[in-house]
Amino acid sequence: MAKSSVLGYPRIGENREWKKALEAFWSGKLEESELHKQLQEIRLNHLRKQQEKGIDLIAVNDFSYYDQVLDTAAMFGIIPKRFNYTGGAVPLSVYYGVARGTKDAAASEMTKWFNTNYHYIVPELYGAEPALTENKPLAAYREAKEKLGIDGKPVILGPFTFLKLSKGYGKSEIDTWLSILVNLYVKVLKELEEEGVQWVQIDEPALVTKLSRDDVTRLQTVYGKLAEAVPSLNILLQTYFESVENYKEIINLPVQGIGLDFVHGLQGNLASIREFGFPKDKVLGAGVIDGRGIWKASLSDKLELLKELQGYAASDKLLIQSSCSLLHVPVTVKGETKLQPELTNALAFADEKLDELILLTRALNEGDASITAELEQCEKALQALEQSEARNRKAVQEAVAVIQREDASRQSNFESRQLAQQQKWQLPLFPTTTIGSFPQSAEVRKARQSWRKGEWGSEQYAIFIKEQIDSWIQHQEEIGLDVLVHGEFERTDMVEFFGEKLDGFAFTQNGWVQSYGSRCVKPPVIYGDVEFTEAMTVEETVYAQSKTARPVKGMLTGPITIMNWSFVRDDLAREQITYQLAYALRQEVEALEKAGIGMIQVDEPAVREGLPLKENEQADYLAWAVKAFKVTTCTVQDTTQIHTHMCYCEFHDMIDSIEAMDADVISIETSRSHGELIQSFEQNTYKLGIGLGVYDIHSPRVPDIEEMTGMIDRALQVLDPKLFWINPDCGLKTRGKEETIASLRNMVAATKIARDKHLVNV
């Protein structure tokens, strides 16, 4: 009999109870004992739900107090020395200090989890002396069994992937570190084996990335040692996000099961299994339900795929799974009462995906006839959406076909534009600016809520927004910034705001997903052809510009980021969706320029995030991503200065593509990675305007002048001072007013020091 299995479940709760508990604890409103109690209740509710639906193998230890990678590091006592950790179970104060920073210690780096919009905390191995501090998977297994009678499947991040995601070691130390880690994993697994655990899910998503021959040998050594240490424990080696590399070697590792992604890795994994088969003695974890998308699966298509897979793995060796953890999708559709029926009926969030797994398992075990009604209902829902007017806007489709064929270059090269822009703006050396947003206080959020509920009229709300703009224009002038922003007080989210003003988008009421820590986002749903209808940002930007003689940047979110940070339709290539967005945003750029706004920032923080995991697909993605940005910005005059912004990603391998975007100024995060990005510019000349963020806005600490001066000095060793800008890492929406002003004052002071040092050399 085939069994159903889930790789992980969203930790945030149906109403973001998890987020609220964490933030109450951080603000001192919740005692630690009460935090543990509330989080346990949330955790058990999640397990109970899966149990009641009938999932056969329920993941435990998929829950976290912040991030699963940080959990693994904490379990092994891998805590940076600056947090004064002395051994034993890691206190919550230290755990959250690593994640968020403290008054005296900078937070660890945070970056993207493979090609998703989830962020993990990067483990730091410098000088670490790992030891097992507590067996978290064992505690999770015991809790599920004692409280709910669930014989769970503990989940743990694998040693190979953990090391790949860590920093602070050289190539010559890889084998040493793997050996250290394997000894720790052996301790964890032996205790699970002694407890009577049947299955352990070891996540190794790094196996879908390019592996060297040495890597393959290391994997054979690692899993050989684990198999020898725990011979009676069943290990499910789980991969996801793409097809595995080195398929033949991976399926022959000494484990009892292999989990493969048959959604995002469908083409590669299916080709491999067809060519090389699958071991008869192993369980195949068939990830056929999309753990990252929100659309109903075509149950008939999935059944056809599963039946083919039965030719390689007998039913009693088949697990019907989500393609990855359901961490990446909202919890449930049941509260979505305001969407069009044709859309609502085509959605499947985490809970609905559990139902799909149960249905497919039943059909495979009892025959298609056991779910006939569900099959018909599913196909009817998908067909209704496909035939909707929203997905058949011919004018948009024809316009996009034209811009794809056209050249998307600016009128003049950067050098000519730079001279024209400097003549127009007369900016000082090292111009200072911010990335876009300013603190959204409780007052701002309350006002927006009152307006959305109809308690405030639009005129009252508009007056309030203008008052906020007035206040922060004044603050920016007093601080001494050179290029100002209006603050984005009218915007809840940098993607949602634009989606609400473009056709082809829909918005859920409760479709929240975790982005990093307690930060949850509610991605828009791109379900139809995207169409521009009216100007979206002109009114607020023009008003802000009327209040100052200094330039105010227009602020837009770019097409690649809107696409990557939305739930997108699965019937159209992502490239086509992005070009539709670029065409719509171009019309907004032109509207801003026509209204007299001469600096326009088109943010693209998610370009790197969308990079395919397969190297042979990356060049094509970067080519159309660059072109989409240029389509958005290419029609403006030479004197109109185009800015963009990127953050919290590894950019060293795409500097050429960033330069090819031909933005006049780009700002990139560097502070959280402690300046490591600067190394990229030591090997790569960058000829356009650039601002490397000089302080981390995700940490509540106020950075001192000396710290920022050091960052500036190092950047200026490799970048042209005449093209260098100074700015924070990211928008300041989540920060408090006083800390924001204090940080920016320090930034301006550090800039003045830098100007005094370098002015004579320019």
CA angle (557 as vertex; 551, 560 as ends), nearest 5: 140
Distance between CA 98 and CA 161 in Å, rounded? 20
Q: What is the CA radius of gyration of the chain?
A: 26
pLDDT score recorded for residue 333: 97
Q: How much of the chain is in helix, strand and coil states, percent to nearest 5?
A: 50, 15, 40
Write out the DSSP string of 446-514: HHHHHHHTTSS-HHHHHHHHHHHHHHHHHHHHHHT-SSB--B-TT-S-TTHHHHTTEEEEE--SS--EE
Segment 152-168 mean pLDDT: 98
Q: How far apart are CA 689 and CA 678, in angstroms?
A: 15
The answer on pLDDT for 520 being more than 70 is yes
pLDDT above 70 for 237: yes
User: 675 pLDDT exceeds 60?
Assistant: no
Domain edges within the chain: 3-73+131-386, 413-761
Architecture label for domain 413-761 = Alpha-Beta Barrel (3.20)
d(CA 360, CA 652): 43
Least Cα distance to 568 among 433, 430, 391, 716 occurs for 391
Binned at pLDDT 50, 70 and 90, residue 549 comes out as very high
* Catalytic (active site) residue 698: yes
Instruction: Calculate what percentage of the chain has a pLDDT beyond 70.
Output: 97
pLDDT at site 760: 58
In this prediction, residue 719 carries a pLDDT of 87
- Residue range 8-31: average pLDDT? 97
Task: State which amino acid sits at residue 382.
Answer: L
CATH 3.20.20.210 fits 3-73+131-386, yes or no: yes
Instruction: Give the model's pLDDT for residue 671.
Output: 61
Using alpha carbons, select from 6, 706, 724 the residue that is nearest to residue 325: 6
What pLDDT sits at residue 696? Answer: 76
609 phi and psi angles, rounded to 5 deg: -60, -35
pLDDT at residue 9 in the model? 98
Bridge pairing between strands 119-121 and 110-112:
antiparallel
- Would you say residue 672 has pLDDT above 60? no
Which segment of 253-267, 523-537, 643-657 scores lowest on mean pLDDT? 643-657
Kindly state the greatest CA–CA separation across the chain.
Answer: 82
Work out the number of other CB atoms within 10 angstroms of the CB of residue 1.
10
pLDDT at residue 209 greater than cutoff 90? yes
Per-residue model confidence as pLDDT tens digits over 171-189: 999 999 999 999 999 999 9
Q: For residue 686, what pLDDT is reported?
A: 81
H-only helix segments in 105-211: 136-148, 159-165, 174-195
Q: Give me the count of residues in the chain.
A: 762
Q: What is the DSSP string of 254-277?
A: S-SEEEEESSTTHHHHHHHHHHH-
Give the pLDDT score at 697. Answer: 75
Per-residue pLDDT at 111: 87
> What would the mean pLDDT of 308-328 be, rounded to a whole number?
96
Average pLDDT over residues 346-356: 98
In whole angstroms, give the CA distance from residue 756 to residue 421: 24
Higher per-residue pLDDT: 69 or 671: 69
Across all residues in the chain, what is the average pLDDT?
Answer: 94
> Which residue among 46, 643, 645, 698 is the active-site one?
698
Query: How many H-runs (helices) and E-runs (strands) does the chain carry?
Result: 27, 21
pLDDT of 411-439, one tens digit each? Answer: 999 999 999 999 999 999 999 999 989 98
> pLDDT > 90: what percent of the chain?
85
Determine the pLDDT at residue 651.
66
Q: How far apart are CA 117 and CA 566, in angstroms?
A: 10
In angstroms, the first-to-last Cα distance of the chain is 75
Contact 563, 584 (CB under 8 A): no
Task: Tell me the C-alpha distance between 720 and 595, whole Å.
Answer: 32
Residue 178's pLDDT is: 97
- E strands, 186-252, are 199-203, 234-238
Residue 585's pLDDT band (cuts 50, 70, 90): very high
Asked if residue 619 lies in contact with residue 577, where contact means CB atoms within 8 angstroms, the answer is: no
> Residues 678-734: pLDDT tens digits?
667 766 678 899 988 887 777 778 889 998 998 898 888 888 999 999 999 888 888
Q: ∠519-520-521 over CA atoms, to 5°?
A: 125
Given this model, what pLDDT does residue 673 score? 57
pLDDT at 655: 81
Tokens standing for residue 669: 């995060």
pLDDT score of 301 more than 90: yes
**In the predicted model, is pLDDT for residue 528 greater than 90?**
yes
